[in-house]
Amino acid sequence: MSQSLALSVDFGQGFTDAWATIAKFVPKLVAFLVIMFIGWIVARLIARVADRLLRKVGFEKVAERGGVAQALKGSQYDATGIITKVLYYAILLMVLQMGFGVFGPNPVSDMLSGIVAWLPDAMVACVIIVVAMAIARAVRDIIGAALGAVSYGKTVATIAWTFIVALGTIAALSQAGIATSVTGPVLIAVLAAIAGVVIVGVGGGLVQPMRSRWERWLDTAERETVNARASVDAYQRGRADAAAAVGETVGTGSGYRVS
């Protein structure tokens, strides 16, 4: 009799504890769903405003100049669309973090906190890549136009483009905290290798070959620079002669009309 009474008491206590747990969990679940719904609406609104703002300030033109738009030509998103999508999902992750915070401390909230803290750096890294490619393309066009009359102009422009893009990529990876233990040593190793080759090669047994090559390169550069300058001077003289001829024609015509 006493055993059955004890079992009934334990069952009643367990049933009461279960209902108490459910009663505590349901309000938290409702709050979680409400937070997620409101956050989803806010994320969509902010993404739309950001898309319009970026297009209005000319971010897409910068991406086109940098060649990013051409690289994404076969994709359904452009550079602005990718930035806004990243912003949209970043806000959703923040909302998800807030939603899980309703349930108290938990591993999911800790993981989401780390991701949310990293997302701003990722967005800045994307912007650095776009701006670096735009600057690199502008520099390449400027150098190509300035040295278009010489044979080494295209090579110098390509080297400048590659150097700026490499610096932008390293800066973006450093900003995002990706492979910083790899990119830094690799950059140092490459620079050290180049310096070593130059020091050993130029300062060692390659002095005479390098001297002859430098003399040949400098002679070629000087000759092509003189030819380019002569072409520019001839073009300026042609414009001056054409302007003078037009002025004489206008003056003769006006004198004829006066008489």
Q: What pLDDT is stored for residue 8 in this prediction?
A: 54
Lowest mean pLDDT, pick from 87-91, 98-102, 229-233: 229-233
Length of the chain: 259
Asked whether residue 254 carries a pLDDT value surpassing 70, the answer given is no
pTM above threshold 0.75: no
Q: How many CA atoms, within 13 angstroms, populate the side-chain half-sphere of residue 228?
A: 15
Q: 91-111: per-residue pLDDT in tens?
A: 888 888 888 888 777 777 777
Q: What pLDDT is stored for residue 132 in this prediction?
A: 84
- Helix, strand or coil for residue 58? coil
**Confidence at 45, pLDDT banded by 50, 70, 90:** very high
User: Which tokens go with 75?
Assistant: 């994709």
Residue 63: phi, psi to the nearest 5? -65, -35
Asked whether residue 116 carries a pLDDT value surpassing 70, the answer given is yes
Q: What pLDDT is stored for residue 257 in this prediction?
A: 45
User: Which tokens go with 259?
Assistant: 């008489």
Measured in whole angstroms, how far is the alpha carbon of residue 207 from the centre of its chain? 42
**Confidence at 72, pLDDT banded by 50, 70, 90:** low
Q: What pLDDT is stored for residue 166 in this prediction?
A: 83
Q: What pLDDT is stored for residue 68 in this prediction?
A: 65
Contacts of 257 (CB under 8 A, 6+ apart): none
* pLDDT, average across residues 177-182: 70
Distance, in Å, from the CA atom of 122 to the CA atom of 190, rounded to the nearest integer, reads 26
Asked whether residue 230 carries a pLDDT value surpassing 70, the answer given is yes
Helix, strand, coil content of the chain in percent (nearest 5): 90, 0, 10
* pLDDT, average across residues 73-90: 77
**Confidence at 258, pLDDT banded by 50, 70, 90:** very low
Lowest mean pLDDT, pick from 23-27, 50-54, 200-204, 251-255: 251-255
Lowest mean pLDDT, pick from 53-57, 79-83, 165-169: 79-83
Q: What pLDDT is stored for residue 134 in this prediction?
A: 81
Contacts of 77 (CB under 8 A, 6+ apart): 85
Contacts of 170 (CB under 8 A, 6+ apart): 183, 187
Q: What pLDDT is stored for residue 245 in this prediction?
A: 72
Q: What pLDDT is stored for residue 7 in this prediction?
A: 47
Contacts of 146 (CB under 8 A, 6+ apart): 153
Higher pLDDT, 186 or 165: 165
